Chain A
Amino acid sequence: MYAQLVKSDGLKSREEMSPEERAFQDRVDNGEKIEPKEWMPEGYRKTLIRQIGQHAHSEIVGQLPEGNWITRAPTLERKAILLAKVQDEAGHGLYLYSAAETLGVSRDELQEKLHSGKMKYSSIFNYPTLNWADIGAVGWLVDGAAIMNQVPLQRTSYGPYSRAMIRICKEESFHQRQGYAIMMKMASGTPEQKEMAQDALNRFWYPSLMMFGPSDKDSVHSAQSMAWKIKMNTNDELRQKFVNETVPQAEYLGLNVPDDKLAWNEDKQGYDFSEPDWNEFFEVIKGNGPCNRERLNARVKAWDEGAWFRDGLNAYAEKAADRRKAAPVAAE
């Protein structure tokens, strides 16, 4: 989800597997958790690093569009709630980087790959937040879409990833609700506020649908990830579930989902809906979204300008350790 286009190898059949790979697959099939130092196929390790890394990057780049409005939040309470929420995203990035680190890659390495453009983050964060209702829409739709994916990932096969997801889901439960609470205020407010709410939904609807990644028929490589239980549902399943849950919520707000083809389908017990513009999606992934440059520049700037701070604290820690060594042992 926050990892939309994670490349992995094609699915191996049982006959193609080595005895170790077969034993590993049996453990995954039995619902056992795989832990850091245990044997795992190299493809499993690499795919996980890419996926968890992308997920972590999305959390910290995801701080930016909402962070935009912390200094403009309309009341002290809204300011505090938004700040706490954006701070949570930093925390979630931190937990996920820690999970990736158990696979033998350092956080600095991962961040450098983000900064150099070698690793991606979710396309959704390349869209701008233009009015206050966008903060509601991001919580309601973007966090709502993220939760669809993160809840099943609590059962993922890799222990540290699963534990990070459990903690994240627990903390995120307030995020979507605070977003919807903002939308309720706006949708029932003044005509201008209602206009902002509708505008936010118009702009965030299709980018939210894109968060689930390309359609299953165009999505290569997901079979292996599903066999390994690092991807729990197909993109289309989750997208359908999201639409089914979100449309009634939009109706409750009295807002229009910007899709003429949206209609309840009695046979499939779900909504028919229009696909997002996948050309736009691939352009955003390539770097041509409305805010790609700003987002990445902001992260690179924070990192580069923070170097002296990190180095300074390191230098002090080393000096202090040397001093402790040199000092005569104090009384017990």
Chain B
Amino acid sequence: MSKKEWPLWEVFIRGQHGLNHRHVGSLHAPDAEMAINNARDVYTRRREGVSIWVVPSKDITASSPSEKGPLFDPAESKTYRHPTFFDIPEDVGKM
């Protein structure tokens, strides 16, 4: 009988159009090289990608859910970071 489970990996794929690698899911593999091959076989069956990253799931450090408020709420009040904050007269043209 099998004693030890293959470790879990998180898979990130960059699609055809040059955007950032995006998390697409996870899979099991004995090591990084095989995780890349498995990711190719599992997550790019429909030509979804041109580049693959794999990371051992245990090495992901996540922000704590209880910190959600302090971490993300402060950005809410900074509306001046968005272009629509500023009124530019139509006469000026496209900006």
Contacts and interface: CB of A to CB of B under 8 A. Distances in A.
A and B: direct contact (Cβ < 8 Å)? yes
Contacts of B45: 84, 87-88, 91
B2 interface: yes
Given A91-B42, A101-B26, A313-B34, A108 B5 contact: yes
A311 B3 contact: yes
A317 interface: yes
A302 to B, nearest CB: 12
B15 to A, nearest CB: 14
Given A106-B5, A107-B5, A311-B4, A321 B31 contact: yes
Q: Give chain A's interface residue range (CB within 8 Å of chain B).
A: 20 to 34
A91 B25 CA distance: 11
A87 B36 CA distance: 19
Contact of A313 (B1, B24, B30): B30
Contacts of B2: 108, 306-307, 310-311
Interface string B1-20: 11111101000000000000
Contact of B65 (A38, A94, A95, A316): A38
B62 A37 contact: yes
A316 B30 contact: yes
Interface in A278-295: none
B27 interface: yes
A320 to B, nearest CB: 7
Contacts of A167: 24-25
Interface string A223-260: 00000000000000000000000000000000000000
Interface in A82-112: 84, 87-88, 91, 94-95, 98, 101, 106-108
A231 to B, nearest CB: 23
A170 to B, nearest CB: 9
A94 B30 contact: no
A171 interface: yes
A104 to B, nearest CB: 12
Nearest to A303: B2
A15 interface: no
Nearest to A320: B31
B78 interface: no
A39 interface: yes
B34 A101 contact: no
B14 to A, nearest CB: 17
Contacts of A84: 45
Contacts of B82: none
B46 interface: yes
A88 to B, nearest CB: 8
B24 to A, nearest CB: 8
B11 to A, nearest CB: 10
A35 interface: yes
A65 B1 CA distance: 26
B84 interface: no
Contacts of B1: 304, 307
Contacts of A311: 2-4
Contacts of A297: none
B64 interface: yes
A131 interface: no
Interface of A: 35, 37-39, 84, 87-88, 91, 94-95, 98, 101, 106-108, 163-164, 167, 171, 304, 306-307, 310-311, 313-314, 316-317, 320-321
Given A94-B27, A304-B1, A307-B1, 9 more contacts: A35-B65, A39-B65, A87-B45, A88-B45, A95-B25, A107-B5, A108-B5, A167-B24, A310-B2
16 contacts: A37-B62, A39-B65, A84-B45, A88-B45, A91-B45, A95-B25, A101-B8, A108-B5, A163-B25, A306-B2, A307-B1, A311-B2, A311-B3, A314-B6, A317-B31, A321-B31
